């Protein structure tokens, strides 16, 4: 397509405000149909409760049976308790809400597709034998790497570099620079894409690289970008250039369905298999301070080079190949300098690691140029199984910390295990500091976040609110040894319902950079006190009710 025609289409579709009317019409239709379903459901429930004592007794018995079912599920005790309360108080409503939101796992069709894609890619990435030995002999610091090898099925690496970014603006500059150098392919996967300066700049560069013959594959979450992009935007991108392929993940539908819970919350950019970016940064103006929504927007991210990029590539194709007919062969997207080594090792390996349905071949593929304590391990987490990878990594850092533990999180909705771990860390003398937003994006979630302050502070945890605005970062660092940066929030949805990703790294300059960023943020944040958390009786009552529904928020 020539440049003139592309510009004309862009003007008609993107810069014409009529598309916003289409967006609003779609949202209004979806909301209207959902509300209609709620009204019809309410009438149905009302009919049950006015049908006589025999029906009421049957409803109560059904509620009790369902409570037994929930209690025997392999779920967190706090989540079970919340559901049990809802079901006992309002059996029909509680059971319906549990069936819609409590199961958590994707539909059978989605599960089957993604599992098949993962199995097809299994055995292609290689675990270097030297790194495996380092992990086996690495002591407490390496135990989480062994877990990620065995249960997240991602290798641990000792080559390449990790660069930490304390803001979206800094990271976006390097993202553009990396894309500008692309020669073979660009893989991008984001929860939110919104029209504006950031996306316009990125899109124009993608079109330029597509003209140069670079293959571009893009995934965005439909609900995350619902009111931010024109309808059928994925089709538009494919139309304007044959080298751009795109799809929207899990399209929103105007009916209640369990699959709407499972969003693609990941943020991944891979260029030529040589460099990858991840973190909390989406493709929207607030992430680079071009738009002020909730004061100053604080976010974090990392740039990864070396063989670890292969893990991000596999994450991408585990989703892409599950839903696209034009499936990508993972081996074709490994950087040439690693490809021959990976092929030979994967085909000739006699040993494997991995216990979660897939395997990773183990073979020597080269020495690490870094010290023996250096590990970098990208990983993802999904609701396909009962393995809470993101939570397990966070708990490992909390439980191993002996000097300090710094946490950035936009939401602090904790279950008993996470709360107890944080309190115990503080009680054993660890300097535990948590930063949450000073200006929230979700009022009810912020109430729940603040309701967790008092029990933590009474145990010695220091809570800070980011006074300049909203902190969207998801970062954790401890003891000058290890850190995690990624997309995983400390709330139920992120830990159990969404598709997420992060990267664990240790004993490198990026760890010190995360710590320094924490100290810089503490300097401009307000340290909360018990007095700041005191509530009226009504406030405590509201918080208690919200806590029952925290799995839905």
pLDDT at 358: 63
Residue 59: in which H helix or E strand, if any?
A: helix 53-71
Contact between 530 and 457 (Cβ < 8 Å): yes
- Please give the structure tokens belonging to residue 246: 């795109």
C-alpha–C-alpha distance, residues 10 and 239, integer Å? 11
**Which stretches in the chain have pLDDT values below 50?**
16-17, 19, 22-24
- Please give the structure tokens belonging to residue 53: 């004592």
- Please give the structure tokens belonging to residue 80: 């079970």
φ and ψ of 404, to 5 deg: -145, 160
Indicate the burial class of 339 (C-beta count within 10 angstroms; 0-12, 13-18, 19 or more).
Answer: middle
- Summarize pLDDT for 75-116 with one digit per residue, the tens: 777 677 777 777 777 777 777 777 766 666 677 888 899 989
pLDDT at 17: 46
pLDDT at 55: 65
- Please give the structure tokens belonging to residue 137: 């002999």
Cα→Cα distances 481→155, 194, 373, 513, Å: 19, 36, 9, 12
- With vertex at residue 195, the alpha carbon angle to CA 193 and CA 199, rounded to the nearest 5 degrees, is 65
C-alpha–C-alpha distance, residues 459 and 43, integer Å? 48
- Please give the structure tokens belonging to residue 212: 């140069």
Strand order in the sheet with 127-128: 127-128, 360-363, 351-353
pLDDT at 214: 97
Closest CA to 527 of 443, 448, 460, 433: 433
The four Cα atoms 50, 54, 55, 59 give a dihedral, to 10 degrees, of 120
- Please give the structure tokens belonging to residue 188: 């991008």
Cα→Cα distances 290→227, 228, 285, 520, Å: 19, 16, 5, 22
pTM: predicted TM-score of the whole model, two decimal places = 0.86
C-alpha–C-alpha distance, residues 371 and 341, integer Å? 22
* DSSP string over 221-288: ETTTTTTTS-TTHHHHHHHH-TTEEEEEES---SS--GGGG--B---EEEETTTEEEEES--BSGGGG
Q: In which residue are the tokens 């559901």 written?
A: 83
C-alpha–C-alpha distance, residues 86 and 549, integer Å? 9
Contact between 360 and 132 (Cβ < 8 Å): no
* DSSP string over 359-406: -EEEE-----SS-TT-EEEEEEE-TTSS--HHHHHHHHHHHH-SSEEE
Domains of the chain, start order = 18-102 (no CATH), 159-253+262-349 (3.30.870.10), 377-552 (3.30.870.10)
Total Cβ atoms within 10 A of residue 146: 15
- With vertex at residue 249, the alpha carbon angle to CA 302 and CA 115, rounded to the nearest 5 degrees, is 85
C-alpha–C-alpha distance, residues 501 and 156, integer Å? 15
pLDDT at 145: 94
Q: List Cβ neighbours of 430 (8 Å cut-off, separation of 6 or more).
A: 401, 402, 403, 404, 405
SS3 98: helix
C-alpha–C-alpha distance, residues 530 and 467, integer Å? 18
Cα→Cα distances 52→43, 47, 87, 239, Å: 16, 10, 20, 60
- Please give the structure tokens belonging to residue 287: 């992430």
């Amino acid at each position: 397509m020539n440049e003139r025609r592309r510009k004309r289409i862009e003007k008609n579709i993107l810069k014409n405000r009529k598309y916003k009317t289409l967006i609003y019409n779609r949202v209004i239709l979806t909301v209207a149909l959902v509300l209609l379903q709620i009204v019809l459901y309410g009438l149905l429930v009302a009919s049950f409760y006015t049908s006589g004592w025999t029906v009421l007794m049957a409803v109560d018995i059904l509620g009790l049976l369902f409570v037994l079912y929930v209690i025997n599920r392999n779920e967190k005790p706090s989540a079970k308790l919340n559901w049990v309360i809802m079901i006992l108080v309002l059996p029909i409503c509680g059971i319906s809400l549990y069936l819609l939101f409590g199961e958590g796992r994707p539909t059978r069709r989605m599960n089957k597709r993604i599992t098949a894609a993962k199995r097809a890619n299994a055995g292609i990435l290689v675990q270097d034998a030297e790194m495996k030995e380092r992990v086996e002999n690495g002591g407490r610091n390496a135990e989480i790497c062994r877990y990620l090898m065995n249960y997240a099925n991602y290798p641990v690496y000792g080559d390449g570099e990790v660069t930490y970014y304390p803001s979206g603006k800094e990271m976006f500059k390097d993202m553009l620079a990396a894309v500008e150098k692309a020669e073979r392919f660009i893989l991008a996967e984001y929860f939110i894409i919104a029209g504006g300066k950031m996306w316009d700049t990125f899109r124009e560069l993608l079109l330029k690289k597509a003209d140069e013959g670079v293959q571009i594959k893009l995934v965005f979450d439909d609900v995350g970008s619902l009111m931010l992009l024109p309808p059928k935007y994925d089709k538009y991108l494919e139309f304007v250039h044959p080298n751009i392929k795109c799809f929207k993940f899990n399209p929103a539908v105007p009916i209640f369905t369990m699959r709407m819970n499972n969003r693609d919350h990941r943020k991944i950019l891979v260029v030529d298999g040589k460099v990858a970016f991840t973190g909390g940064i989406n493709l929207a103006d607030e992430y680079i301070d071009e738009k002020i929504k909730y004061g100053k927007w604080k976010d974090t991210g990392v740039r990864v080079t070396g063989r670890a990029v292969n893990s991000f590539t596999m994450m991408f194709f585990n989703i892409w190949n599950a839903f696209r007919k034009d499936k990508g062969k993972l081996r074709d997207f490994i950087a040439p300098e690693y490809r021959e080594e990976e092929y030979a090792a994967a085909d000739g390996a006699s040993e494997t690691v991995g216990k979660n349905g897939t395997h990773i071949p183990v073979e020597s593929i080269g020495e690490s140029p870094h010290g023996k304590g250096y590990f970098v391990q990208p990983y993802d987490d999904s609701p396909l199984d009962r393995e809470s990878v993101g939570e397990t990594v966070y708990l490992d850092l909390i439980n191993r910390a002996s000097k300090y533990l710094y946490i950035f999180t936009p939401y602090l909705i904790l279950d008993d295990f996470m709360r107890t771990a944080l309190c115990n860390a503080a009680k054993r003398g660890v300097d535990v500091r948590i930063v949450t937003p000073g200006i929230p994006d979700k009022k009810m979630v912020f109430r729940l976040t603040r309701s967790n302050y008092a029990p933590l502070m009474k145990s010695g945890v220091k809570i800070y609110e980011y006074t300049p605005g909203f902190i969207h970062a998801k970062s954790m660092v401890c003891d000058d040894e290890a850190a995690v940066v990624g997309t995983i929030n400390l709330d139920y949805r992120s830990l159990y319902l969404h598709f997420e990703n992060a990267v664990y790294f240790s004993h490198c300059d990026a760890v010190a950079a995360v710590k320094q960023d924490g100290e810089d943020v503490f300097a401009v944040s307000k340290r909360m006190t018990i007095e700041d958390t005191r509530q009226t009786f009504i406030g405590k009552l509201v918080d208690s009710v919200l806590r029952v529904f925290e799995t839905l928020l």
